[in-house]
Amino acid sequence: MAEYNENINIRENDLSKVWPDLNRKMREDNKDALLLWLGYFWKSTQRSMDFLLGKQIMIRSEETPEVNDFAIASDFHQTLFEAMVDCDSLGDGILKIYKDEDGKSVLQSNCPTIWYPIIERGNLRKIVYHVLATTLKRDETQYLKAEIHSKTDIEHRVYELVSGASGTSLGRKLDFAGFSDEFPGVQEIETHELGDFLVIPISNIRTSKDVYGRSSYSPSAKSIARKLIERYNQIDRVLDKHTDPNLIGPKDMLEINPITHKPMFRGGGRYFGYLHDPSLPVPDIRYLTWDGNLVPAETSIQRQIGDLFNELELPPVAMAKDIQGAVVSGTAYRLMLTPLLAKVGRLGRAMIPQAKKAILLAMRYQGTPVEDVDIQIQDAMPRIPLEESQRIAILGQLSHFAGEVGGAWLLEQLDIPEDKAIEIMRDPTRGGL
């Protein structure tokens, strides 16, 4: 739970809650008003989602109307997007199926901060209950609402929360019927007998000893980011301090403030005065200049940015860096994106089976089961028309793609609609090509 909350603050770029000590290091007054926070963590998640779910998901099923209605009611693409953002940044994404007022199944995403899997003793992989726990407040009293999912039913409970010297603890269980105003139409126990959970987690990388998925925001990436922000802002602060130059000269050059009756200097920077013998010529008033060498610090920053990108599996080319206007081929671009594409492939392999399971289970839950469903995510790699046409031309010369079906499929790869591709293949004026 601590890691979930920490990663949410990092994802939202609210880093002062994660590393408050940076305030002290930046300024004497312990304020971060001038502190710059770098948002590379959210950018890494955003780029991953651009390549994973940047295009609409393709859902195919023989029972198309029922599945399409479910996808529309659930805003399926956006719901899956939200769950995968959590999967990447927190380590787990949570999907939950429920019924609306019309008895239709709807899919929603839940933040994993409310999710508590209960496992069988001695078996990390066998979950016996999924618990979704949230707090609510009535008058001045706080309560815990627990939604307990088994493979056959859903039980709703409400507990009183008791505050004490050692913190908040769980009090007595209350009658759920007494909270009908907060949860209208919700039965205390709902039996579905589906033989599976209506809570479907999507986990990032796990090892044999992990119950929860591992976030892409690794401890090493966080340590690099903390040092990077500290060094970046130290340099920025030094440059800001020397933007307004300071003057040095005799004290008698200062004027007296008519209100405070103290010497004052009108200017952007500060004035350093020294005692001067009036019988001698007035020395030149000159600026205090700073001749600092920030090259080693800048080099360190560039190295740390590279290290952070490596830890986040975020190639510089994905952030429009290191190309500098150069034109590269699609193959070269794909090779430079290898770390990001590998990460996206890993997230896709975790997402697709669970998304398919959610659709099949939701159809059974509302009483309109379907035999099978196919989910495809479209490649979000930018296409280069010349390279694509050359690839399709080479494939068109193979015997495997001879005939109307093969030719129509090749045309679809050039983003030609299916009906138009078939019309082109059946056009008698094509000359047999």
209's tokens: 């000893």
Whether residues 56 and 203 share a domain: the answer is yes
Q: Are 194 and 365 in contact (CB under 8 A)?
A: yes
> For 137-188, what is each residue's pLDDT tens digit?
988 889 999 999 999 999 999 999 988 878 888 889 999 999 999 999 889 9
161's tokens: 């929360």
Q: Are 72 and 56 in contact (CB under 8 A)?
A: no
Give DSSP secondary structure letters for 180-234. TTTSTT--SEEE---SS-SEEEEE-S--TT-SSPPPSS-HHHHHHHHHHHHHHHH
Whether residues 274 and 368 share a domain: the answer is no
What integer pLDDT is reported at residue 302 of this predicted model? Answer: 87
224's tokens: 């690099």
Whether residues 56 and 104 share a domain: the answer is yes
Whether residues 53 and 199 share a domain: the answer is yes
Query: Which residues, 6 or more positions from 381, have their beta carbon under 8 angstroms from its beta carbon?
Result: 51, 330, 333, 334, 337, 341
Distances (CA, A) of 171 to 113, 138, 175, 290: 21, 15, 13, 64
189's tokens: 């126990």
What integer pLDDT is reported at residue 297 of this predicted model? Answer: 80
Whether residues 259 and 370 share a domain: the answer is no
Whether residues 387 and 418 share a domain: the answer is yes
> Bigger pLDDT: 276 or 186?
186
Mean predicted lDDT score pLDDT of the chain: 84
Whether residues 109 and 122 share a domain: the answer is yes
**pLDDT band at 433; cut points 50, 70, 90:** very low
pLDDT at 395 > cutoff 70: yes
162's tokens: 């008791």
What integer pLDDT is reported at residue 143 of this predicted model? Answer: 94
| CA gap 133, 112 in Å, rounded | 10
> For 191-211, what is each residue's pLDDT tens digit?
999 999 999 999 999 998 888
Share of the chain above pLDDT 70, in %: 83
**pLDDT band at 383; cut points 50, 70, 90:** low
Residue at a domain's end among 262, 280, 311: 311
What integer pLDDT is reported at residue 65 of this predicted model? Answer: 84
CA-closest candidate to residue 360, choices 102, 110, 95: 95
Q: Please count the structural domains in the chain.
A: 4
Whether residues 302 and 326 share a domain: the answer is no
Q: Which of 141-155, 167-181, 212-226, 407-421 has the lowest mean pLDDT?
A: 407-421
Q: Which of 201-205, 291-295, 335-339 has the lowest mean pLDDT?
A: 291-295
Residue where the block lists tokens 């769980």: 170
CA-closest candidate to residue 92, choices 9, 211, 245, 204: 204
Whether residues 236 and 154 share a domain: the answer is no
Whether residues 46 and 144 share a domain: the answer is yes
What integer pLDDT is reported at residue 101 of this predicted model? Answer: 87
What integer pLDDT is reported at residue 32 of this predicted model? Answer: 55
Whether residues 282 and 371 share a domain: the answer is no
Classify 119 as helix, strand or coil.
strand
What integer pLDDT is reported at residue 409 of this predicted model? Answer: 80
Q: Are 386 and 237 in contact (CB under 8 A)?
A: no
Residue at a domain's end among 334, 352, 379: 379
**pLDDT band at 407; cut points 50, 70, 90:** confident
| Residue 110 structural domain | 39-216+316-379
**pLDDT band at 399; cut points 50, 70, 90:** confident
**How many Å is the Cα radius of gyration of the chain?**
31
Whether residues 362 and 391 share a domain: the answer is no
